Amino acid sequence: MTRLVVGPFNRVEGDLEVKLEIGDGRVEKAHVVSPLYRGFERILLGKPPADALVYAPRICGICSVSQSVAAAKALAQAQGLAMPPNGELAVNLVHATENIADHLTHFYLFFMPDFARETYSRESWFAAARERFTAIKGTAAEDMLPARAQFMHLMGLLAGKWPHTLSIQPGGSTRAVTNGEIARMSAILSAFRRFLERTLYGDTLERIASLSSVAELEGWAAEKAPESSDFRHFLSISRHLDLRRLGPSAGLFMSFGAYTVDGATLFPRGVHDNGHLALDINAIAEDVSHAMYRSGADALKPFDGETVPDIDREGAYSWCKAPRLNGKIAEVGALARQLVSGHPLVLDLVSKDGGNVHARVVARLLEVALVTMAMEGWVNALRSGERFIRHADMPDSAEGAGLAEAARGSLGHWIRIEGGRIANYQIIAPTTWNFSPRDADGTPGPLEQALEGAPVRSGETEPVAVQHIVRSFDPCLVCTVH
C-alpha cells in the first residue's frame, strides 16, 4: 500500500487536501481535509441581526448570493416576513444568475481542463479536447468568459453588483426595476440563450430540457459530431473514459428546494433514496468527532450548534464538520436537486448506474437549460410600479432557519436572536455535506466514499481520476470552513 497526499488542489473554490491510501492500482481509503478555518459563525455573535446580510455573503465569493438568500430567509422567518411577488421574482433571478454562472464556471474553467492533461495524450479524442478545454489557453474559455460576463449584467441591474450584493433582504429586493430595465433583462437573456444554444448545447434549450432517458440522451448525442457542441464533446469523452463508473454516490440525495413563486417551487424540497421521501429538517445534526472543534456532544442540531476551534483535537483531521440526516450521509448538488425534482433523464441515469461523475455533470448542464427557461418567465412576470420589498421590525428574541439551494447543493443558515443581537449563528454549506469527514460511527463522508476504488495510473502523483471525482462535486471549500 502507498500513501499519497494530493494538494494544493486547484480549480476548486478554496483549499483542499486529499490523503489517499492506494493498493493494487486503486484508492483504498480517502481522507478529505479542509485545511483552513475562518470562523464566520463566531464573527456573527453579538452583531445586530441585519448585519448578517453584510457578513454572510462574504463567506463565499462564488456563491455569495446563495449565502445572502439563506441569511435573508433565516431573518425573514425570525421576523415573520414574506416577500411581495416582485421581490420573490427578483431574488429568484439574482439567485438563478449566480447558480447558472457557477455551473458554467465549473464546467468550462474547473472541470473540463482536466481532459486536456498530458496523461490523456494517447487518447483518440485528446487533440480536440486540448484545443478546446486547455486551462486559460483553450478556445472554450475565450467563448465562455464574455458570454458569462454579459449574462452577469443581470446582476448589475438587479443586485447592483456581484459578488457581495446587499440587495437581497428578508422582505424582498432593494432594486425595483422599470419597464425599460425589464426589456434590457429580456435582451440579456436572449443573448445568453443564443450562447447556450450555439456553443454549449448545439440545440434548443427546450430540446435539452425534454431529454427523458439515457437512450434519448445517447441518441441526441449521436445526431452530430462530438465537437459540434461542448455538451456533446463532454458526452463523448465521458463515454470513452466510462465516467459512469467513476465516483459512485454512496448515500441518499437531499434538496432544500429552490426558486419559490407564490408558494410553488421550481425544484421541490425532499430526499431521494430509491424514491422520493419528505425531508425532515429537524433530522439534521452536525457531528464533530473528526473535525477540529470542541464539543460536549458528538452531534448537535444547528440551532444548538457550536463552533469552538480545537486545533489539537485528537483524531480530528479537517475544519469541515460532518452533517448527517438521521445519522446518514447525504449527497447534495444539481444531481440531488434533479433527482428530488423527478426529472426523468436524471432518474433514468441514476436508476441505471447510480450517482457518478457523468451523472453529476449531466444534471448540472440540464439544470442550466431548465433554469434559463424559468428565468425568461420570471422576467416577464415582473410588474414595474408594484412593490419589490416589505419591511418589518426585527424582534428582540426569535429564531429562524434559512434554507436555500446553492449551485453546489443545500445551504442552511440557522440564527437565534436574543436581546436584539445574534446569540447563535450556524451555517451548513453544501460542500460540508459532500466533503464531510468521518462521523462518530466512522462512516466516511460522500466524497471520501466516492474516492474509494478510484483507479490510479502507474506513476501518477496527482491521479487524474481523483481530480475528476473531486471536481464532479464542484466543491466550495471557503463556504465549508466559513
Partner 1 sequence: MHRRREPLRLLWLQSGGCGGCTLSLIGAEGPDLIATFEAAGIEVLWHPSLSEASGREVIEILQRIVDGEETLDILCLEGAVMRGPNGTGRFHMMSGTDRPVMDWVAELAAKAGHVVAVGSCAAFGGITAAGANEVEACGLAYDGQREGGLLGPDFRSRSGMPVINIAGCPIHPGWLTETLHSIAAGRFGATEIDEWERPLSYTMHLVHHGCARNEFYEFKASAEELCDMGCMMENLGCKGTQARADCNTRAWNGGGSCLDGGYPCINCTAPGFEEPGHSFTRTPKVSGIPVGLPTDMPKAWFVALASLSKAATPPRLKENAVADHLTRSPVDRQKKR
- On whether 320 is known to bind a ligand per the annotation, the reply is no
CB distance 353 to 244 below 8 Å: yes
276 or 421: whose CB is closer to partner 1?
A: 421
Nearest alpha-carbon partner for 84 in 373, 383, 377, 405:
383
Which of residues 39, 354, 395, 455 is near partner 1 by CB under 8 A? 39
26 or 164: whose CB is closer to partner 1?
A: 164
Contacts of 95 (CB under 8 A, 6+ apart): 65, 66, 69, 168, 258, 259, 404
What 3-state DSSP class applies to 236?
helix
Could you write out the DSSP letters of every residue in 139-208? HHHHHHHHHHHHHTHHHHHHHSSSSS---EETTEES----HHHHHHHHHHHHHHHHHIIIIIISS-HHHH
Contacts of 165 (CB under 8 A, 6+ apart): 57, 64, 65, 68, 94, 155, 159
Site string for partner 1, 115-154 (x = CB under 8 A): -xx----------------xxx----xx--xx-xxx-xxx
Q: Are strands 421-428 and 409-418 parallel, antiparallel or unpaired?
A: antiparallel
Residue 427 binding partner 1, by CB under 8 A: no
Residue 42 binding partner 1, by CB under 8 A: yes
Scan for cell 489539537, then name that residue: 312
159 or 221: whose CB is closer to partner 1?
A: 159
Residues 206-245 that bind partner 1 (CB under 8 A): none
414 or 425: whose CB is closer to partner 1?
A: 425
As a whole number of angstroms, the distance between CA 52 and CA 425 comes to 9
Give the interface segment with partner 1, choosing from 50-58, 75-83, 233-241, 330-338 (CB under 8 A).
Answer: 50-58
Which of residues 159, 325, 379, 469 is near partner 1 by CB under 8 A? 159
118 or 262: whose CB is closer to partner 1?
A: 118
CB distance 234 to 361 below 8 Å: yes
Residues 376-405 that bind partner 1 (CB under 8 A): 384-385, 387-389, 391
∠ Cα 265 267 271 (to 5°): 115
CB distance 322 to 306 below 8 Å: no
Residues 310-339 that bind partner 1 (CB under 8 A): 311
Alpha helices in 306-407 (DSSP H): 334-341, 344-353, 357-381
Q: Is 371 exposed, middle or buried (0-12, 13-18, 19+ CB in 10 A)?
A: buried
43 or 398: whose CB is closer to partner 1?
A: 43
Residues 168-197 that bind partner 1 (CB under 8 A): 169, 172-176, 178
257 or 475: whose CB is closer to partner 1?
A: 475
Residue 306 binding partner 1, by CB under 8 A: no
Residue 81 binding partner 1, by CB under 8 A: no
Residue 437 binding partner 1, by CB under 8 A: no
Residue 362 binding partner 1, by CB under 8 A: no
Residues 3-22 that bind partner 1 (CB under 8 A): 5-11, 13-17
Residue 109 binding partner 1, by CB under 8 A: yes
Point out the annotated binding site: 41, 60, 63, 427, 476, 479, 482
